[in-house]
Structure formats: structure tokens, C-alpha cells
Amino acid sequence: MGEGICDYTKHIIDLRRHMWMAGVEVELRRLIWQIAVVGKYISAKIHESNRKLAGLKNVYGEDQMALDRASDEILKNQLQFSGFVRQYASEELEDIIDIGTGQEKYIVTADPLDGSSLVDSNLSIGTIIGIHKNSVLDCGRNTMVAALYITYGPLITMIYSAGKGAHEFVLNREGEYVLSEENIKLKEKGSIFSPGGLRRDWTDKHLKFIDQMESEGYKLRYSGGFVPDINQILIKKGGLFTYPALKKSPQGKLRLLFELQPMAFIMEQAGGMAIDGNQDILSVKVENINQLSPIYIGSPYEVQMARRMLDQC
């Protein structure tokens, strides 16, 4: 029995060992590990805030907003003393803030708790992180060197990329993130799609695109949460998520810096694509931290079909 346990543990690769084996630079892997640890604290805060466990009703909106702010504070405080982060930008803050001495190497962007409105219905939610080396504004090119997201669902999982593939880890009972799947690769064509926005608000070109997907037999899989829907596409190895330009909201509703860039970075590392309808998401210049953008993200066949149909006169 002892030998069996020993043999089993030989094949367990935790997050820190994986990043070391993958050749991720030391400061970056320490930063990624620290952010992964923050996921444990945010998960605990989610469970703590769920008053259903105590038989009490949530006050609409108030607990949700408090949970967003608490998650932001947990993440910001951890990064402030990490020794690796000089600036921090979050959906919960009005501007980029300085949190280090000014000599640290990285800038972190965060959606600390994406999908918090789904907590009451017990659906999966998540944290989205982008890690940059240079300014995230006033730059003609994307400066991201790593990205990750954590999914708080039946299991706590994390997918990260430091530019050397996309890899999934699961938080085990011992509190360690252990490798679940290395080098996730999407198929050329998937079978599911997650279209956001109301049908009545879609543009004619987007509506034709969705009609085409339905005619090809794609199955609808939309939870209302960006993290779980993207995670499903990656784990199922293909498909498409879209939140398009709407008639009254031509830039959609998702934030380029906090949500779309990190997910595009990970998706491209898994062999997928991400566009705003025409331009690659990672090529779109960020002019302000709250900038919005439409998104078509997933496996190549679906994204290329979207680009082709949206370009039609």
C-alpha cells in the first residue's frame, strides 16, 4: 500500500514545479503562485458570504457588491506585499494605482470576481488576471507576459499561461494546485456556442452569424458568466463565446483590459483565436482602463467564420 501511494505521488506535479519545469522566470512564477493562493482566500470569502447556508436572505445587490469589493481588497493587499508588482488595475477601482516601490517588474490587471451576480444561484464564477511588464496604456502593442483565471465551481480550478501553452490545475484536498491537463489544445472546430446579449439588440450581421451556427447544429451553452463559459470551451476543446456589438451598445459590455485581453492570451496559447469582429483582441490598443469591446473567442473555425460574415457588405 505504501509503495502504491509513493508511485502515485511521483506523478503529481504541482503548480510551482510545473512552472519551474516549463522554464517560467523565477519572479513571474512566484507571482503566479501568490495569485493562485489568493484564489483560496476569495473562495473562502464566497462561502462565508453565502447567507443561504445560514437560512437568511440576501439583500439584493448589497452582498454582491460587498463580495466584489472584498475580493478586490484581498487580491490588492496580497500583491502589495508580494515584492513583484508596482501597479495594480481592477474593475473595482477608478484608475491604475501604485502599490509597490516603483522598482518591481510587473503590472497586474484583475477582474477580482467575475460573475458575482451568479452566487445566489450557485453557478460557477471566477477571477481573471493579466500580468504585464510595461504600461497597459499608451502602448501600441500588448505587453502581457502571462494570464490566468480561477474558476470557483464544484472544484476550484485554474488555467494559466506564461506564453508556453495553457495548463489546467485543480486545487486538491491538501490545498495544493496540481496539474490536471497540460498544453490544452482546441480542435479546429467545436460544437458549442455561448452568445451573450438579447437577440432583439443584435445587429443584422451578428444575427445572420448566429443563425448560421444554429443551422450547423451548434449546441447552446450560455451561463451568463464569462469565466465558466470560456472554461467550458477550453475544457471541451472547442466552440465559441461571443458578446457582440449591440445596436445601442456598439462596444458591447465586456472590458478589454480586465476580461478580454487575459482570456484572449490564454485562448491563443491553446490554439484558439479572439477578435472584436475584425481585429485581434491582443492588437486592440487600450486607451482607457474601462474600455469596452465586442468579442468573438474560441476555436479557429468559428472565429474565422465570424470575421468573414461580419466583414460582408
Sheet with 295-298, side-by-side order of all strands = 219-220, 192-195, 240-243, 295-298, 273-275
pLDDT at 117: 81
pLDDT digits (tens, 9 = 90+) for 113-172: 998 888 878 889 999 999 999 888 866 567 899 999 999 999 999 999 999 999 999 999
> Distance between CA atoms of 257 and 277, rounded to whole angstroms?
17
pLDDT digits (tens, 9 = 90+) for 202-214: 999 999 999 999 9
Q: What pTM, to 2 d.p., does this model score?
A: 0.92
Distance of CA 43 to the CA centre of its chain: 16
> Which domains are assigned to the chain?
2-181 (3.30.540.10), 192-310 (3.40.190.80)
Q: Do 289 and 228 touch, CB atoms closer than 8 A?
A: no
Q: Which residue has the higher pLDDT, 52 or 173?
A: 173
Q: What is the DSSP string of 216-253?
A: TTPEE---S-HHHHHHHHHHTT--EEEE--BSS-TT-S
**pLDDT greater than 70 at residue 61:** no
The contacts of residue 143 (CB under 8 Å, 6+ apart) are 107, 132, 133, 134, 135, 136
Percent of the chain with pLDDT over 70: 89
Q: What are phi and psi of 112, to 5 degrees?
A: -60, -35
Identify the helix (H) or strand (E) that includes residue 28: helix 26-49
In one letter, which amino acid is 65? M
Q: What is the DSSP string of 200-217?
A: GGB-HHHHHHHHHHHHTT
Q: Which residue has the higher pLDDT, 101 or 266?
A: 266
Written as nine digits, the cell of 101 is 516601490
pLDDT digits (tens, 9 = 90+) for 48-60: 766 554 444 444 3
pLDDT at 264: 98
Burial class (CB in 10 A: 0-12, 13-18, 19+), 9: exposed
Q: Do 65 and 57 touch, CB atoms closer than 8 A?
A: no
Q: Do 238 and 186 touch, CB atoms closer than 8 A?
A: yes
Give residue 73's pLDDT band: very low, low, confident or very high (50, 70, 90): very high
Mean per-residue pLDDT of the chain:
90
The beta-strand segments (E) located in the chain are 85-90, 97-98, 106-114, 125-132, 144-152, 156-161, 167-171, 177-181, 192-195, 219-220, 240-243, 254-255, 273-275, 292-293, 295-298
Among 276, 285, 283, 284, residue whose Cα is nearest residue 311: 276
